[in-house]
Amino acid sequence: MEKQKSMEMGKQQQQQQPEEEESSHYNRGGLNNLPPLRCIVKLGGAAITCKHEIEKTNEENLRTVSSQLRQAMMTESSSAKVSGMDWSKGLGNLEVPTADDFEKNPMLNAGNFVIVHGAGSFGHFQASRSGVHKGGLQLPFVKAGFVATRISVTSLNLEIVRALAREGIPSVGMSPFACGWSTWERNIAHADISQLSKTIDCGFVPVLHGDAVFDDLQGCTILSGDVIIRHLAQLLHPKYVVFLTDVLGVYDRPPQDSNAVLLKEIAVDEDGSWSIVKPILETNKVEIRVASHDTTGGMATKISEAAMIAKLGIDVYIVKAGTSHSLRALTGEITRSIPDDWLGTVIRFSKQTNATD
Amino acid sequence: MEKQKSMEMGKQQQQQQPEEEESSHYNRGGLNNLPPLRCIVKLGGAAITCKHEIEKTNEENLRTVSSQLRQAMMTESSSAKVSGMDWSKGLGNLEVPTADDFEKNPMLNAGNFVIVHGAGSFGHFQASRSGVHKGGLQLPFVKAGFVATRISVTSLNLEIVRALAREGIPSVGMSPFACGWSTWERNIAHADISQLSKTIDCGFVPVLHGDAVFDDLQGCTILSGDVIIRHLAQLLHPKYVVFLTDVLGVYDRPPQDSNAVLLKEIAVDEDGSWSIVKPILETNKVEIRVASHDTTGGMATKISEAAMIAKLGIDVYIVKAGTSHSLRALTGEITRSIPDDWLGTVIRFSKQTNATD
């Protein structure tokens, strides 16, 4: 198989790589005793919120995604009755389950998942209006924007935790800001994951999110969900990472373009450059679009982050949320060989790809 | 002034004192450089939620309390226009303030306050039903209750942060669980406050809350807002602490009793015992009631915690939220001498009281 290499893309990706990474103050806590993490899932903001309506979740998508996550975590039959873990009022006439309900149900293999979500139509407006991503916390308007952004993204986090809990997933919200995560020139500088590790160890599913955080150089910034995912992948080394988005995967040009081709497999080289393995295209140029309201980089960041995860030897799947394709990716069904009827993008380390050629 | 000492109460209070405190793993971060903290405020659950209706905030009280907090934090005139920091939709036709709005406004002296709130009608139902406070995280029902409790208390936290932000207070929610706080036999064992300190340093008002947390001995428990307050008082040594409740202060018996007498001043001795200084009562017996649904101890815990704070030389005021009395306590107007027309309870270290006798 001939590989088409785009050095242009490789360069772009390398520029975004944080140079001070080696000197970051990672705290790995008691990680040596951790069971292997199965999967880190990114719930893309575009997949779970209504893009064009400020602060509105896409409830149908969120319900389907939560249900698929439950199926992926199930150790036994998926036909068992779901005992929800959101016991708040305002959920209609749902009865709060009893101890017996939980004893009878097959336990979820929940300890093996971490969920990170983006902001979608939450937070972006507040952050971009006040310039939180550009720093300047001494300015009253930036400080106010920091508060407004956190209110918006934590309200989305709560909605997602509740949707997961209703499906019986033992989810707990963990804000990077409250966890004390901070950045240096917008790259992660400090991220103690000891509480996160303990939470996974205890069988919970931590739910993190893109957040407004302190930046040691510029005062504050927005830490995107994609950067969080890469960071966690480096430290926790899951078997695979799934990005759930609102399109089938990565295309060679904007997916709205009728000529857009879905890239089914992308290989990442040791030097960080990418090449499209499947399908074989006439041109190897991929257009990268960044939405104007997106303070965290959009698709360019997503592909760069995914490539850096793949370089660690971790398979990355980019799939459309709430489809049969996303369910197959979440359950880990898509392994070395990609079924012809599966639609999505796999990003893998090229060394592994070569080994199976 | 003759002091009436109740050794019975003193004993009770000493029993509740955590014996392993000295061996706790406090992390004081870069605290030596912190400006002195002005005030830690407890928003009592009973004052800001509707006691008899599950998961309902008392919006009017919450608005008044937020407004009084703003007045207490003001460095200049309180007549300036409020520029809100909750820019979410669903707030009617409120316009999002501009950078100019914030530049024109007097800055709040916000860096000097920390707010901790209780759960009230949030969380208690979920925690007591599943027994989260008694531990046993390996049981599916307790694990589910842990999830349900956190959903409930974090939703209240979000509502309070938003109410404060609407008043222009730069409030940021910080969940003790996400901060990595944990307990040992229900007393705080680990509580890194470096992020909290940084947040105060940057001029924000951290908003913490009673939370479900991991317990090193019994798996999990409920960490009450009152225990958090004492812990923070020990580490941050504020000038004063204000407990906002739903009654005027501490009474010698249940306040519903028509013969109940408001205790205006309580002195705490070095051995941890208390004595009522004002008014002089015929009997020194104080009835302690604990509501059956209260998993965190109720008034008994509150007085014990307040006494332990007072022992540090920090004045503690227990006042009714949303009254002129609470405003005077929050602004720091009630100092050494207590005005006759002020209604509330002051708890002070007896050594200081003796000095002014």
The tens digit of pLDDT for each residue in A141-155 reads 999 999 999 999 999
pLDDT reported for residue B39: 96
Mean of per-residue pLDDT scores for chain B: 82
Whether B228 has a pLDDT exceeding 90, the answer reads yes
CATH number of the domain within which B303 lies: 3.40.1160.10
A205/A140 Cα distance (integer angstroms) = 36
Residue A90 is assigned to a structural domain of this protein = no
Binding residue positions of B for ATP: 120, 246, 298, 302
A202 inside 8 A of chain B by CB: yes
What are the CA-CA distances from residue A340 to residues A264, A278, A284, A310 (Å)? Answer: 10, 11, 22, 22
Helix/strand/coil for B263: strand
Min Cα separation B69/chain A (Å): 17
pLDDT reported for residue A22: 35
Helix/strand/coil for A221: strand
Q: Which of A65-74, A332-341, B213-222 has the lowest mean pLDDT?
A: A332-341
Min Cα separation A25/chain B (Å): 15
pLDDT reported for residue A348: 93
Among A66, A76, A82, A87, most B C-beta atoms within 10 A, so best to mutate, is A87
Of B184, B134, B177, the residue nearest B24 (C-alpha): B184
pLDDT reported for residue B4: 40
Higher-confidence position of B216 and B293: B216
Min Cα separation B64/chain A (Å): 20
pLDDT reported for residue B220: 97
- The 10s digit of each residue's pLDDT in A195-224 is 999 999 999 999 999 999 999 999 999 999
A289/A256 Cα distance (integer angstroms) = 12
B304/B315 Cα distance (integer angstroms) = 14
End-to-end CA, chain B = 8
Closest residue of chain A to B171, computed from CA coordinates: A147
Q: Which of A9-23, B225-239, B249-263 has the lowest mean pLDDT?
A: A9-23
Higher-confidence position of B192 and A272: B192
Min Cα separation B249/chain A (Å): 31
A214/A192 Cα distance (integer angstroms) = 14
Whether B197 has a pLDDT exceeding 80, the answer reads yes
Q: What is the mean pLDDT of residues B147-153?
A: 97
pLDDT reported for residue B92: 55
Residue B177 is assigned to a structural domain of this protein = yes
Q: Between residues 43 and 62 of chain A, which touch chain B (CB distance below 8 Å)?
A: 54-55
- The 10s digit of each residue's pLDDT in B258-277 is 888 899 999 999 888 888 88
What are the CA-CA distances from residue B175 to residues B120, B151, B240 (Å)? Answer: 16, 11, 23
Contact flag A102-B144 (C-beta cutoff 8 Å)? yes
* Tokens read off for A160: 């997602």
Higher-confidence position of B24 and B317: B317
Residue B294 is assigned to a structural domain of this protein = yes
Q: What is the mean pLDDT of residues B119-143?
A: 92
B319/B321 Cα distance (integer angstroms) = 6
pLDDT reported for residue B164: 96
Higher-confidence position of B157 and B12: B157
Residue A257 is assigned to a structural domain of this protein = yes
Higher-confidence position of A162 and B294: A162
Q: Which of A23-37, A193-207, A232-246 has the lowest mean pLDDT?
A: A23-37
Tell me which range, A82-96, A159-173, A260-274, is most confidently predicted by mean pLDDT.
A159-173
Whether A77 has a pLDDT exceeding 80, the answer reads no
- The 10s digit of each residue's pLDDT in A305-337 is 789 999 999 999 999 999 999 999 999 988 767
pLDDT reported for residue B71: 92
What percent of chain B clears pLDDT 90, i.e. is strictly above it? 55
Q: Which spans in chain A are helix H?
A: 7-16, 45-48, 59-73, 99-104, 124-130, 140-166, 194-201, 225-236, 298-310, 324-331, 350-356
Q: What is the mean pLDDT of residues B244-253?
A: 89
Q: What are phi and psi of B13, to 5 degrees?
A: -70, -40
* Tokens read off for A113: 């998942």
pLDDT band with cut points at 50, 70 and 90 for residue A39: very high
Q: Which residues contact A258 (CB under 8 A, 6 or more apart)?
A: none
Residue B93 is assigned to a structural domain of this protein = no
pLDDT reported for residue B21: 38
Neighbour-count burial for A22-57, b at 16+ CB within 10 Å, e otherwise: eebebeebeeeebeebbbbbbbbbbbbbeeeebbeb
Residue A86 is assigned to a structural domain of this protein = no
Residue A84 is assigned to a structural domain of this protein = no
Q: What is the mean pLDDT of residues B293-322?
A: 78
DSSP notation for B20-51: TGGGSEEE-TTGGGPPPP-EEEEE-HHHHB-T
A88 inside 8 A of chain B by CB: yes
Min Cα separation A85/chain B (Å): 5
Whether A14 has a pLDDT exceeding 50, the answer reads no
pLDDT reported for residue A95: 73
A27 inside 8 A of chain B by CB: no
Max Cα–Cα distance, chain B, nearest Å: 61
pLDDT reported for residue A9: 36
Among B146, B147, B192, B209, most A C-beta atoms within 10 A, so best to mutate, is B147
Q: Which of A12-21, A186-195, B309-318 has the lowest mean pLDDT?
A: A12-21
Q: Which of A66-75, A86-95, A212-221, B175-184 has the lowest mean pLDDT?
A: A86-95
* Structural domain harbouring B45: 4-87+98-356
Higher-confidence position of B1 and B57: B57
Of B232, B249, B247, the residue nearest B115 (C-alpha): B232
A158 inside 8 A of chain B by CB: yes
The C-alpha torsion from B155 through B156 and B157 to B163, rounded to 10°, is: 110
Residue B92 is assigned to a structural domain of this protein = no
Q: What is the mean pLDDT of residues B74-79?
A: 61
A109 inside 8 A of chain B by CB: no
A119 marked as binding residue = yes
Q: What is the mean pLDDT of residues B236-260?
A: 89
Total Cβ atoms within 10 A of residue B117? 29
Q: What is the mean pLDDT of residues B78-84?
A: 71
- The 10s digit of each residue's pLDDT in B7-28 is 333 333 333 433 333 333 333 3
Mean of per-residue pLDDT scores for chain A: 82
* Closest by Cβ to A54, choosing from B89, B151, B195: B89
Whether A90 has a pLDDT exceeding 70, the answer reads no
B337/A250 Cα distance (integer angstroms) = 71
B contacts of A125 (beta carbons < 8 Å): 87
Q: What is the mean pLDDT of residues B161-181?
A: 96
A123/A148 Cα distance (integer angstroms) = 8
Among A85, A126, A214, most B C-beta atoms within 10 A, so best to mutate, is A85
Q: Between residues 212 and 271 of chain B, which touch chain A (CB distance below 8 Å)?
A: 214, 219
Domains in chain B, number: 1
Binding residue positions of B for substrate: 119, 124, 225
Q: Is the dihedral angle over the CA atoms A28, A29, A33, A37 positive or is it negative?
A: negative
* Closest by Cβ to A144, choosing from B137, B170, B214: B170
* Closest by Cβ to A151, choosing from B86, B146, B150: B86
